[in-house]
Amino acid sequence: MAQHSGSKELRSRLRVAPGRGPLDLTAYDSSDTPGSPGGKRRTLAATEAMRPRLAELQQRLYAQSTAGDPRRLLVVLQGMDTSGKGGTVKHVATGLNPTGVRVRTFKAPTEEERAHPFLWRIRKALPDAGEIGVFDRSHYEDVLVVRVRALAPRATWSDRYDVINRFEQSLVDDGFTLLKVFLHIGYEEQRERLLARLDRPSKHWKFDPQDIADRALWPAYQEAYAAVLERCSTDAAPWYVVPADRKWYRNWAVGTLLLQHLEMIGPAYPKAAFDVPGNRAKLLRT
Amino acid sequence: MAQHSGSKELRSRLRVAPGRGPLDLTAYDSSDTPGSPGGKRRTLAATEAMRPRLAELQQRLYAQSTAGDPRRLLVVLQGMDTSGKGGTVKHVATGLNPTGVRVRTFKAPTEEERAHPFLWRIRKALPDAGEIGVFDRSHYEDVLVVRVRALAPRATWSDRYDVINRFEQSLVDDGFTLLKVFLHIGYEEQRERLLARLDRPSKHWKFDPQDIADRALWPAYQEAYAAVLERCSTDAAPWYVVPADRKWYRNWAVGTLLLQHLEMIGPAYPKAAFDVPGNRAKLLRT
């Protein structure tokens, strides 16, 4: 199937090879569209075209969990402000059955959350068997904003890369498939998107003056992201870098990766554990 | 606006008047289509047409919560097996932003849940401010299946109607709007739907032989539902009876009730709590 092999190719193009060594994000073009089926129009059409297959695979994943299959999918979205994490959730989840989707947005930790180890709030938000979980920000904030803004001493956050790798390995051991996506936008594109928020009163609620201050820390953030990609792209749970300046490309790429990861799981409807003709006859007598 | 007044009318047609006294469900025609904008085709079109408005109101509800507004919406769906609770969630939530939707399916309680008061698992699943929560089954199971199958002594479940009313009043006090919908299907229609599940291997996972045994208890269930509608349709949280034999009507009716309840909340984008032109100028200097 053309789409299937296309998505396989995309996977290898966007994947950060585990153990690849130093990574320089400035070498990644955030406006690129690697592997896309064409320009904007054709890519939008391809995104629509994959929805029925996504919905079918999701239903099978959910169905097989009712027969005790522990498998589930967790999508982790990270990226700078305005990189489109929320927009990606909205577009990719459209057409999925909301009963099997669990979206969790992680904001600055509450006082209660800060009183616990950093993975505490993450563990509470994990998807159940059969579900697709989506994290808009995640445990990676604890080696991103925490590192850049020095919210914890280096000795604390520098241990967390290994802690995260072990945590994710344990999730995979439990039947999770992880899809970790870094939405990569450019410095100029972020300014445009922040301006758009300021220029539309219905978008003011999305704006935080802090976002401007954070732009001064852009190089430090890019460095922190590079460290995440270098140290936490593992065989068990690799990272994918998705160029995100073009929303139509971003939605297609994340949708394609999601589809491809569901195909890797290969969920199947469970066989009936009851006598079908017998129940049919019985039902007709009611 | 025609649609708006149409939904107001629908609300009064389907609402169970608080304190109305004895209610006989056999007097409700489950194949009826009260208030629908026409036949199947026109009703399907009307359902599609309301999606942008639903999405806009949902976004405002979410936006205002970011400025501290505690309001949220909780949809409670109840009905016999195959009445279409899951299908309703799927169709009504399509087009909503999954980030602000929290769907929870309640199955038979686990051992841990049974060790707690019956509202324990309910309280843990409530939507946050700004969210739309959807319960596929709910605390009402504790006066439905528990009553019909005598899973608890009468003295236990008979107190729960008042407990539920006080609980729901407390939710309303906290900023909840409740939309409680009973999906009313007929005995014959249920047989057809169970047969359809048996005849399609991809639907076998939805079938439970217990569903046939439950048909023998149909009158007892109808009585238990009637008791719920009589005793728990309150001014704070009324019940709506939606005839559910026709899926296209059911989806339109629940969508319209949802729209109308969001309009009752009347959410608004919060005003900017920062200096817009000042931030704009500052941003342009980055």
pLDDT digits (tens, 9 = 90+) for B153-195: 999 999 999 999 999 999 999 999 999 999 999 999 999 999 9
HSE, side-chain direction, 13 A CA sphere, residue A75 = 28
- The residue ranking higher by pLDDT, B2 or A261, is A261
CA of A272: which chain B residue's CA is closest? Answer: B204
pLDDT digits (tens, 9 = 90+) for A136-169: 999 999 999 999 999 999 999 999 999 999 999 9
HSE, side-chain direction, 13 A CA sphere, residue A82 = 27
Which band of pLDDT confidence, cut at 50, 70 and 90, is reported for residue B94?
Answer: confident
CA dist B242 and B78 (Å) reads: 10
Average pLDDT (B34-57) is 96
pLDDT digits (tens, 9 = 90+) for B270-284: 999 999 999 999 999
- B132-136/B239-243 β-pairing: unpaired
Q: How far is CA A46 from CA A38, A42, A53, A247, B228, in A?
A: 9, 6, 12, 14, 48
CA of A203: which chain B residue's CA is closest? Answer: B269
Residue A96 at interface with chain B, using a CB cutoff of 8 Å: yes
Facing B89 at nearest CB: one of A67, A99, A103: A99
> Is the CB of A204 less than 8 angstroms away from the CB of B272?
yes
CA of B136: which chain A residue's CA is closest? Answer: A99
> Is the CB of B274 less than 8 angstroms away from the CB of A209?
yes
Residue A95 distance to chain B (closest CA, Å):
7
Q: What pLDDT sits at residue B2?
A: 40
Angle at the Cα of A59 (from A57 to A64), degrees rounded to 5? 95
CA dist A88 and A75 (Å) reads: 11
Q: Which residues of A touch B216 (CB under 8 A)?
A: 286
- Total residue length of chain A: 286
Predicted-complex ipTM score: 0.91
Q: How far is CA B70 from CA A138, B67, B104, B167, in A?
A: 24, 9, 20, 17
> Is the CB of A212 less than 8 angstroms away from the CB of B286?
yes
pLDDT digits (tens, 9 = 90+) for B220-241: 999 999 999 999 999 999 999 9
Facing B98 at nearest CB: one of A101, A215, A272: A101
Q: What is the largest CA-CA distance in chain A?
A: 74
Q: What pLDDT sits at residue A3?
A: 46
What does DSSP assign to residue A176?
Answer: E
Facing A86 at nearest CB: one of B64, B99, B269: B99
CA dist B228 and B146 (Å) reads: 13
Token pair for residue B27?
A: 């007097």
| Superfamily grouping for domain A2-268 | P-loop containing nucleotide triphosphate hydrolases (3.40.50.300)
Q: Give me the residue label for tokens 């704070």.
A: B236
Q: What pLDDT sits at residue B5?
A: 41
**Residue whose C-alpha is closest to residue A97's, from A64, A51, A158:** A51
Cβ proximity of B182 and B79 under 8 Å: yes
Residue B95 pLDDT > 90 = no
Q: Which residues of B touch A207 (CB under 8 A)?
A: 272, 274, 279
Residue B126 pLDDT > 70 = yes
Q: What pLDDT sits at residue A7?
A: 59
Q: Which residues of chain A have pLDDT under 50?
A: 1-5
| Amino acid in the structure at residue A183 | L
Name the percent of chain A lying above pLDDT 70.
97
CA of A282: which chain B residue's CA is closest? Answer: B212
- B101-105/A132-136 β-pairing: unpaired
Average pLDDT (B204-227) is 95
Chain A, 73-92: which have a CB under 8 Å from a chain B CB?
86, 89-90
